[in-house]
């Protein structure tokens, strides 16, 4: 089954404790992205990657890091989490074929930073 998986699905942590949210896709997609979703602000792109070792900042990259060492994986790293990073996070992957682009989202990771 074609899917994007994220782990963990729920996480409660404390300020300053480094954490990693993993994202994996089994569709051999080139593009992968991370978003955060907050009430009243909608979905905002954190980082995206157009292929292995190629990443770029989205609209809200501060406080986050990413890496793309393999095509299927795109982890999101919070080196020193703060309470304002409490949010619902989504990973997505997409491909372009024949001019049409289709994006698949993961199930989300709900992060609480105390």
Partner 1 sequence: EDQVTQSPEALRLQEGESSSLNCSYTVSGLRGLFWYRQDPGKGPEFLFTLYSAGEEKEKERLKATLTKKESFLHITAPKPEDSATYLCAVNYGGSQGNLIFGKGTKLSVKP
In the complex, which residues of this chain contact partner 1 (CB under 8 A)?
A: 4, 31, 33, 35, 40-45, 48-50, 56, 58-59, 90, 92, 96, 99-108
Least distance CB 113 / partner 1 (angstroms):
20
Least distance CB 112 / partner 1 (angstroms):
15
Strands 4-7 and 54-57: unpaired
Nearer to partner 1 (CB atom), residue 53 or residue 56: 56
Nearer to partner 1 (CB atom), residue 82 or residue 102: 102
Which CB contacts under 8 angstroms, 24+ apart, belong to 92-95?
Answer: 92/4, 92/32, 92/33, 92/34, 92/35, 93/4, 93/25, 93/27, 93/29, 93/31, 93/32, 93/33, 94/29, 94/30, 94/31, 94/32, 94/33, 95/27, 95/28, 95/29, 95/30, 95/31
Least distance CB 5 / partner 1 (angstroms):
11
Nearer to partner 1 (CB atom), residue 29 or residue 85: 29
Nearer to partner 1 (CB atom), residue 85 or residue 109: 109
């Amino acid at each position: 089954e074609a899917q994007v998986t994220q782990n963990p699905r729920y996480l409660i942590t404390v300020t300053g404790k480094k954490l990693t949210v993993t994202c994996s896709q089994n569709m051999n997609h080139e593009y992968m992205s991370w978003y955060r979703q907050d009430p009243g602000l909608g979905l905002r792109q954190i980082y995206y990657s157009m292929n292995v070792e190629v990443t770029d900042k989205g609209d809200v990259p501060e406080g986050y890091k990413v890496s793309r060492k393999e095509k299927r994986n795109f982890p999101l790293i919070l080196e020193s989490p703060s309470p304002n990073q409490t949010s619902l996070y989504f990973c997505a992957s997409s491909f372009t074929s024949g001019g049409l682009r289709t994006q698949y989202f993961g199930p989300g990771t709900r992060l609480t930073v105390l």
